[in-house]
Amino acid sequence: MKTRGPVNSIALGTGLILSALLVDGWLPIGFAIKDAQAVVGRPMTPASVAGVARRTTRRTIRRTAVYAATLPAGCRSVVIDGTSLHSCGGTYYQPYNGRYVVVDVY
C-alpha cells in the first residue's frame, strides 16, 4: 500500500498543533469542553461582581391602582433598591401624595 507523504505530514502537523493548544488549555471552536471552565471574577459566574450586580439590580417596584389612607397594623419599614417601603404581611406599601399605594416588588 502506497502512502502519500504530504498528506501524512499535514495530518501529523495538525495533530501536533492541536496537542500543543490542548496542553495550553485553549480549545479551538468545535471541540467539547469536559470540565466547567468558569473562573470567579469573570462575567456570568455566581461569585463575580458582574453576576452580583445583575442579581441585585433586577428588582422592580411597580405601583398598582390600589390606595390606602392608613397602613394596616404590624407594618415594618424596609428599603428595597433605595426606595423606602412598608411591608405589611407580605404586601408592600409606598407613601404617595399623603396616602399609601400598594406596590408589587419583582
39-96 pLDDT tens trace: 555 555 555 555 555 555 556 889 999 999 999 999 999 998 889 999 999 999 999 9
The dihedral sign for the CA sequence 44, 48, 53, 55: positive
pLDDT value of position 102 = 96
Q: Flag whether pLDDT at 105 surpasses 70.
A: yes
3-state secondary structure of 85: strand
Q: Flag whether pLDDT at 9 surpasses 80.
A: no
Residue 62 C-alpha cell reads as: 411597580
How is the chain split into domains, by residue range? Answer: 5-105
pLDDT value of position 82 = 87
pLDDT value of position 84 = 93
pLDDT value of position 60 = 82
